[in-house]
A and B are shown apart, each in its own frame.
Chain A
């Protein structure tokens, strides 16, 4: 046996009484053991024992969903560490940011990791959605998982937005002031909604308490639940989407239509797209090691990138929040700057109609675009109309966000970022 030393050590450990009691199968050597390892381990059984080759193709999925999941995990870990210090009080929050920076061991690095991972998560959730659209992966039978995904995008934005306030600096205070006032433009319920979010008419202690509770309990709990269902459905809907192949037409008997005058085994109950029957075993590989190892490698890569960012770039922290000194311009977090730019033209259209229509259209998309063709391929020719419409929407969103982020100066006037900003005069 010429396996590497760590592997030999591990094998010896899993053969001991204690090792066997924990890992049950040990490091798999044969194909049988590989399958057994997958189904007998709690952490691995979420995934199938064998997986289609197509699902492993990095150029297809780009790993975007998995990256989002890993970022979420990093956020949970660093978030709990930050909670050991943070107090959601307008008197203390800002001082605690300073203490994290200056005296808490690794405080700054952990805050940086949390901040950059949060921005990255918003970005990667959006990219993941684009990938799913461009590969037509939201089509039957994955319609509902797309809807869950849209929900997760909103939860992600909510998590990022509620976390934005917590440092209680000028950036936080005014971004939340601007962000919630966009919500205030909604007809009839707008003002009430804003009041409900802030616990008052302006950002204050009650807002901080609310945002904190939402950020550390409510939204993470919803996110964990929805991510679980999202992953469950990925598997139940037949794994990652892929092009239809001859010979893998799945017997599709809707769940409620089994004849009731006989008894069934569990395998027979699990209908729909789930059972891997009728598929060509030649197209499948064992999840251990090909899926599991790739996933672990991707986790290492994501961790490395977040660590790298956190070591070399500090999370922003401006002056302590001051309700009477608004910065000019006061800007929302970057992912809402497209909206803020729209709002600068028309509060009602930009703040209510456009975002409302966008979210509705996204949620209803799989029920509108029902033709099952072009699934599982990037930019399929059959889907050129849908892809064009989507691309135009994405381009407009990107353009507005870039304008709002970089090209807007004092009083929301047009500035060119490569020129020096005009001097802001201080009035009495």
Chain B
């Protein structure tokens, strides 16, 4: 033991010291080597190569190798994509291979304000290609395939407002017309048989959604949702629409920019904010304020925008309240008022529609078609139900129900659907109680619509 000589200790110190030193150096290299540095050096080399003058060359040589990022607290994001994708804003790199490529059409969404992942998804904080593109374990948001990129528009903008996202608008149409809301809630409206869809786009992959629409039970064992017979384009469109439902909440600057300044959105605002309560268009609407039919000829656009910001500042003594429109809303309304004449806009105010027309809207709004079929014609399978194993169509309800009975039926629903064969599992689809969801006045309209469905000239007389 004591024979352990000093020389032996020194040998051990040297060996272990070298080992620790070697590991520290290895650790340093592992930490120091980052693939983005390679991309940046490549970029700098390209810039030097392109420099037209010695001076420009000198500037290019001074481009620092460093992390680049957009810090976006209102979007809860830090996007470091431009650490590798250095040239997204440089049109002269159009057509270059990735990562050094140019991103066209970004004027409306500058990178320093929006970053990248709000549209493309992926992992913004990551600085390796694999991690950043997000198809790695323990990261829920891989990059969105480009064929579905329009879904991202729908996170902030109304689906139908955006002329640049036609597939998104189509997806919304498919969603509303297929009666999905009969079972699913979205944005607070819809049934309770299926799960809420508010954040479905963040939870599910495009592949899962597609599988789910074609054969729900294959994606979710035990699902009672009927398979959806959709054309290939409609299927892609509704998948895209579902992907747009991410529950992304942007605040501050972003919420003020949500509304696209176009005529359609202006009309939507004009109706939803109740402008017609005081003003009229085409003779429809209130009489308190002046009619607005030719306001576009009388007033300059700047005047109108200022008027929306603060009515009294341009019309002293005006009784119109300050509505607190955002800038983009003010622009959308102005756009609507200017272009209204040439487009012969019909306001189609609910109060001016007939109860049957309104009832048809109610039928569509709450997704009754999801079970009762398009135009209430039936045909949706409900295995083992007594009504020919289908959810019944509603064309003949006028024969079997009085108005009062029909209202009660809608409000109370029917949980137990009579089974054809008691030995088989009970029919999965049932009629939920709609009272509290569909408003009373809407139920009245809906009943009017359903009664009106009875084919004309047909009087069977049981």
Give residues in A with beta carbon < 8 Å to B: 4, 53, 56-57, 95, 98-99, 101-103, 105-106, 108-109, 169-170, 285, 289-290, 293, 296-297, 300-301, 303-304, 307-308, 310-311, 317-319, 425-428
Tell me, yes or no, whether B403 is within 8 Å of chain A by CB. Answer: no
Is B126 close to A, CB under 8 A?
yes
In the bound complex, residues from chain B placing their C-beta under 8 Å from that of A428 are 194-195, 220, 223
From B138, B221, B223, contact of A319 by CB (8 A):
B138
Is B253 engaged at the interface, CB distance under 8 Å to the other chain?
no
Nearest 7 pairs between A and B by C-beta?
Answer: A300-B16, A307-B23, A102-B127, A98-B125, A318-B138, A293-B9, A428-B195
Which residue of A95, A293, A304, A426 contacts B23 across the interface (Cβ within 8 Å)? A304
Among B25-33, B244-252, B392-400, the one that faces the other chain is B25-33
Chain A interface mostly:
helix
Q: B404 near A: Cβ within 8 Å?
A: no
Q: Answer whether residue B2 sits at the interface, using C-beta atoms and an 8 A cutoff.
A: yes
**Inter-chain contact A102/B138, CB cutoff 8 Å:** no
Establish whether residues B30 and A109, one from each chain, have CB atoms under 8 Å apart when the complex forms. Answer: yes
Q: Which residue of chain B is the closest to A293 with respect to CB atoms?
A: B9
Q: Would you call B303 an interface residue if the criterion is a C-beta within 8 Å of the partner chain's C-beta atoms?
A: no
Give the nearest-CB partner of A96 in chain B.
Answer: B125
- The CA of A310 and the CA of B27, in the complex, are separated in Å by 8
Q: What CA separation (Å) do A317 and B123 show in the bound complex?
A: 14
**Closest Cβ of chain B: how far from A428's Cβ, in Å?**
5
CB of B230 within 8 Å of the partner chain: no
16 inter-chain pairs at a CB distance below 8 angstroms, sorted by A residue, are A4-B10, A95-B78, A98-B126, A102-B125, A102-B128, A103-B125, A289-B6, A289-B9, A293-B9, A297-B16, A300-B16, A304-B16, A310-B27, A317-B138, A319-B139, A426-B220
Which residues does chain A contribute within 8 Å of B140, judged by CB atoms?
Answer: 319
Query: Contacts of A106 on B, CB cut-off 8 Å?
Result: 27-28, 31
B-chain residues with CB within 8 Å of residue A318 when the two chains form the complex: 138
Closest B residue to A169 by CB, please name it: B138
- Beyond known contacts A297-B12, A300-B13, A304-B19: 5 more, CB 8 A cutoff: A103-B127, A109-B27, A297-B13, A300-B16, A427-B220
- B24 interface residue (CB < 8 Å to A): yes
Q: Which residues of A contact B425 (CB under 8 A)?
A: none
Cα distance, A296 to B12, chains bound together (Å): 10
A307 and B26 alpha carbons, distance in the complex (Å): 9
* B217-248 interface bits toward A, Cβ cutoff 8 Å, 1 = contact, 0 = none: 00011110000000000000000000000000
Q: Which residues of B contact A289 (CB under 8 A)?
A: 6, 9
* Residue ID in chain A nearest B204 by CB atoms: A426
Report yes or no: B1 in contact with A57, Cβ–Cβ below 8 A. Answer: yes
Given contacts A98-B126, A103-B80, contact A290 B20 (CB under 8 A): no
CB neighbours of A95 from chain B (8 A): 78, 125
Nearest-CB residue, chain B, relative to A56: B1
B462 adjacent to chain A (CB < 8 Å)? no
Closest B residue by C-beta to A426: B220
- Which B residues, 5 to 55, have Cβ-Cβ distances below 8 Å to chain A? 6, 9-10, 12-13, 16-17, 19-20, 23-24, 26-28, 30-31
C-alpha spacing A428/B184, complex, angstroms: 12
Interfacial chain A residues near B31, Cβ < 8 Å: 105-106, 108-109
Q: Does B96 sit at the interface, judged by CB under 8 A?
A: no
From A4, A53, A311, A427, contact of B30 by CB (8 A): A311
A106 to B78: give the CA distance in the assembly, Å. Answer: 20
A122 to chain B, nearest CB (A): 23
Task: Give chain B nearest CB distance to A327 CB in angstroms.
Answer: 11
Please name all residues of chain A whose beta carbon is closer than 8 Å to the beta carbon of B126 when the two chains form the complex.
98, 101-102
B320 interfacial contact with A, CB 8 Å:
no
Assess whether B125 is in contact with A99, with CB atoms less than 8 Å apart: yes
Is B288 close to A, CB under 8 A? no
| Cα–Cα distance between A178 and B151 once the two chains are bound (Å) | 38
| Whole-angstrom CA separation of A260 from B414 in the bound complex | 97
Complex: A303 Cα to B31 Cα, angstroms: 18
Cα A396 to Cα B244 with chains together (Å): 53
Q: Is the CB of B20 within 8 A of A304?
A: yes
> CA separation between A390 and B17, bound complex, in Å?
39
Distance in angstroms from B132 CB to nearest chain A CB is 9
Name the residue on B nearest A296 (C-beta): B13
Residues from chain A with Cβ under 8 Å of B131 in the complex: 102
Interface positions of B from 76 to 101, Cβ below 8 Å from A: 78, 80
Report Cα–Cα, A246/B6, bound state, in Å: 31
List residues of chain B with CB within 8 A of the CB of A303: 20
B12:A311 contact, CB within 8 angstroms:
no
Q: Shortest distance in angstroms between B157's beta carbon and chain A's nearest beta carbon?
A: 27
Asked whether, in the complex, the Cβ of B138 is within 8 Å of the Cβ of A307, the reply is no
Alpha-carbon gap, A219 to B60, bound state (A):
53
- In the complex, are the beta carbons of B1 and A285 less than 8 A apart? yes
List residues 423-442 of chain B with CB under 8 A from any CB of chain A. none
